[in-house]
A and B are shown apart, each in its own frame.
Chain A
Amino acid sequence: MSELELSAETGHAGLMEGSPYGIPSGKLAMWCFVLSDAVTFSALLFAYGYLRVGSPDWSTPFLFSPSIVNGLVMTFVLLSSGLTMLASVEAAKAGHTAAGTRWLWATCALGALFAVLHLLEWRRMIEEGWGLFRNPTGGSTEFGAAFFCVTGLHLLHVVGGVFALAIIALGFRRGKYNRIDVEVTGIYWHFVDLVWMFVFPLVYLMNAK
Chain B
Amino acid sequence: MTAGESAQSPGMKFFVAVWIGLMCIVGIEVLVTYRHPAPRVLLAWLLVLAFVEAGIALWYFMHLKYERAALAWTMLPVLAFVIFMMDQFWPDAFRMVSMRLLQR
Contacts and interface: CB of A to CB of B under 8 A. Distances in A.
Contact of B12 (A31, A38, A39, A87): A87
Contacts of B78: 35
A10 B26 contact: no
Contact of A86 (B61, B71, B79): B61
Given A38-B79, A87-B12, A197-B50, A82 B57 contact: yes
Nearest to B27: A72
Interface centre among A13, A43, A72, A86 (most CB of B within 10 A): A86
B33 A1 contact: no
Interface string B1-22: 1111110010110011001001
B3 A10 contact: yes
Contact of B19 (A22, A50, A82, A180): A82
A29 interface: no
Contact of B86 (A35, A46, A76): A46
Given A76-B23, A82-B19, A83-B16, A1 B5 contact: yes
B21 to A, nearest CB: 10
A197 B78 CA distance: 21
B2 A1 contact: yes
Interface centre among B1, B2, B4, B47 (most CB of A within 10 A): B4
Contact of B67 (A23, A43, A72, A194): A23
A79 B23 contact: yes
A35 B83 CA distance: 12
B5 A190 contact: no
A90 B12 contact: yes
A51 B96 CA distance: 9
B5 A22 contact: yes
Interface stretch (A115-123, A124-132, A166-174, A199-207): A199-207
B89 A46 contact: yes
A163 interface: no
A21 B67 contact: yes
B5 A201 contact: no
A86 B56 CA distance: 14
Interface in A88-129: 89-90, 93
Interface centre among A14, A27, A64 (most CB of B within 10 A): A27
A21 B26 contact: no
Contacts of A54: 93-94, 96-97, 100
Contacts of A206: 33, 39, 42-43, 46
Given A87-B15, A197-B57, 8 more contacts: A20-B68, A28-B71, A38-B79, A42-B82, A89-B63, A90-B12, A201-B29, A201-B33
